[in-house]
Amino acid sequence: MDNRPMAQAASVNVPQPIRSDGAGATDFGPRDVMRDIENPDMLVPPVTDAGLIPNLKFSFSDAHMQLNHGGWSREVTARELPIATTLAGVNMRLTPGGVRELHWHQQAEWAYMLLGRARITSVDQEGRNFIADVGPGDLWYFPAGLPHSIQGLEEGCEFLLVFDDGNFSDLNTLSISDWFAHTPKDVLSANFGVPESAFSHIPSEQVYIFQDNIPGSLESQTVQSPYGTIPQSFKHQLFAQTPIKTPGGSVRIVDSSNFPISKTIAAALVELEPGAMRELHWHPNNDEWQYYLTGQGRMTVFAGNGTARTFDYRAGDVGYVPFANGHYIQNTGNQTLWFLEMFKSDRFVDISLNQWMALTPRDLVRDNLHVGPELLDALRKEKWPVVKYPTA
């Protein structure tokens, strides 16, 4: 019997790395056909792609799963996606009553609630506290260094955390259980003014996530601080905002102009209908970290000097665009594509290719690109972040 691994037979359903002009050749394997089907623009790049742009995609499905009683987490950091140095993301689930324990870190924490509800708590340097419930589409922001916690309510929850440092790991934070475990008991006794026996059952290591009872109502958990509550809310209801609506979808922008505490992270939540696209643009402030929420799309990143690379994305993927690189995102599926664009910045800013051309002398644009009135007449002085034209 022949035990050698056998090449796969070509099948009509299996995509092949062959372009319509005949360039390329069949691939009989070994190969991961499911991945090739998910990444048609990797298997057969557009002819306009060229050069050596580094990887700009990582799926949370390829990340390590941290499983605990009470929930799970997985993260996409610069360890997984080396180019992503500005921001890191964590996808976390908490069961009903599940707790991300009391902890703090050197980085600011921005979050988007995907589904379910949670109770968040924090205390600032003035002794003021913040306790609030967050639901789907709500954001929170904990400034760097401030202690906080997250607990799933009746229905549990799942959310995205974003930190303003690509090398941050949520598994490597400063946590209350870890500190207790690594402080001599006589010191704990002296600090709190109680006998050492009060600490005989403390956890021996970092807890991270644990299962607790579902907390009572917000009112029942109120703690009155003599210094009052934190004046600048750590919570923001993104869907209470009026979106920018254009043919093809919508955009909701949130940064320190409408969520004042969010000093280091700016974001846009983009909705693209089938057939619509996020217009050709770039950002003059920082790299873009993307999280795909629903649907599927594709993006080509143009890095100058004749280089461009196209990637396909779907729900659960992280995308990245280096500072000032040109890009667009097309909805390539038949359902609505929702994604988040995020920046390590206090403001969301972008430059529209269309608007730039519309506000530049017409003769200059014409002679630079050798284009006629058909295009020049169609240029728009207003910015349309999302577009969908009947001719597209």
Measured from the CB atom, the residue of 44 and 120 that comes closer to Co ion is 120
- Would the annotation count 105 as a binding residue? yes
Smallest gap from residue 11 Cβ to Co ion (A): 38
Measured from the CB atom, the residue of 44 and 146 that comes closer to Co ion is 146
DSSP string, 184-200: -HHHHHHHHTS-GGGGT
Residue position matching structure tokens 């359902």: 335
Smallest gap from residue 275 Cβ to Co ion (A): 19
The residue ranges that bind Co ion (CB under 5 A) are: 109, 288
Measured from the CB atom, the residue of 27 and 327 that comes closer to Co ion is 327
Residue position matching structure tokens 């923001």: 236
Measured from the CB atom, the residue of 109 and 138 that comes closer to Co ion is 109
- Would the annotation count 281 as a binding residue? yes
Smallest gap from residue 101 Cβ to Co ion (A): 10
Choose the catalytic residue: 154, 341, 374, 382. Answer: 341
- Would the annotation count 327 as a binding residue? yes
Measured from the CB atom, the residue of 109 and 317 that comes closer to Co ion is 109
Query: Which residue is closest to Co ion by CB?
Result: 109
Residues 6 or more apart whose Cβ sits within 8 Å of residue 64: 74, 75
Backbone phi and psi for residue 133, each to the nearest 5 degrees, phi listed first: -105, 140
- Would the annotation count 148 as a binding residue? yes
B/e letters for 171-197, b = 16+ CB within 10 Å, e = fewer, are eebebbbbebeeeeeeebeeeeeeeee
Name the DSSP letter for residue 354.
H
Q: Is 341 a catalytic residue?
A: yes
Report the alpha-carbon angle 114-117-120, nearest 5. Answer: 105
Rounded CA-CA distance 230/128 in Å is 5
CA 253 to chain CA centroid, nearest Å:
14
Smallest gap from residue 64 Cβ to Co ion (A): 18
Identity of the amino acid at 81:
L
Smallest gap from residue 287 Cβ to Co ion (A): 10
Rounded CA-CA distance 325/311 in Å is 14
Question: Could you list the active site residues?
Answer: 341
The annotation places the binding site for Mn(2+) at 103, 105, 109, 148, 281, 283, 288, 327
The annotation places the binding site at 103, 105, 109, 148, 281, 283, 288, 327
